[in-house]
Amino acid sequence: MSNREPLFSAKNRRLLTTPLGKENPITIQVLGICSALAVTVKLEPAFVMTISVIAVLAIGNVLISLLRKTIAPRIRIIVQLVVIASLVILVDQVLKAFVYDVSKQLSVFVGLIITNCIIMGRFEAFAMSNKPWPSFLDGVGNAAGYGIILIIVAFFRELLGSGSIWGYQVVPEVFYDWGYKDNGLMILPPGALIVIGIIIWVQRSRDKSLVEEN
């Protein structure tokens, strides 16, 4: 047991942190864009979506990793889908039972976690060939990387589109009297695309190693 890797070795820590920046699922791999456009009008649903995806991806990664030696390669995609779909339905049912308001806001998008490419992507790329613990960290890391972008986007969309943060009005009433108007574009999906574009631009201009050659 003495030569076992510590739980939070440098390698494991990297699993958790690189998806937040250098290997971010949204800004670098450009996965999960659909839901990033849909649930980021306000901060609260973006936050709940983040939590839900962290739960689904972390648990899913561990399950797939535990099962990885028993899964026949020919049906592995089906097995992965079944695992995702059941977890998502469970999350949806739990939300409906205990945080009804939030589940109403997220409505169809919780179900759409099933089609979130990040999850299938991590199952295929990581959990199928790694042990449960690193898979767990990889799941949490990637979902958090997805979530952090979601929350940044939601912050700006809610601020510029509705003049509020987490439902609380932050743009003072006098601004409106002076002729300030909330930006309607930010409320619609193209607003999210623009914000994500700006985030990608900022990230690449700060870290030149991300820029492809040619």
Would you count residue 41 as binding another protein (CB under 8 A)?
Answer: yes
Beta bridge partners of 168: 165
Measured CA to CA, the distance from residue 137 to residue 15 in angstroms comes to: 6
Measured CA to CA, the distance from residue 12 to residue 74 in angstroms comes to: 30
Would you count residue 96 as binding another protein (CB under 8 A)?
Answer: yes
Select 19 or 191, whichever has its Cβ closest to another protein.
Answer: 191
Would you count residue 68 as binding another protein (CB under 8 A)?
Answer: no
Q: Which two three-digit tokens encode residue 37?
A: 């456009």
Applying CB under 8 A, what is the total number of residues that bind another protein? 28
Least distance in angstroms from the C-beta of 85 to another protein: 8
Select 96 or 204, whichever has its Cβ closest to another protein.
Answer: 96
Give the contacts of 118 (CB within 8 A, at least 6 positions apart).
Answer: 25, 29, 31, 32, 53, 57, 142, 143, 146
Mark the segment that binds another protein (CB under 8 A) among 112-120, 141-149, 184-192, 206-214. 184-192
Give the contacts of 141 (CB within 8 A, at least 6 positions apart).
Answer: 15, 16, 17, 18, 19, 20
Give contact residues for another protein (rule: CB under 8 A).
41-42, 70-75, 78-79, 82, 86, 89-90, 93-94, 96-98, 100, 107-108, 161-162, 182, 184, 187-188
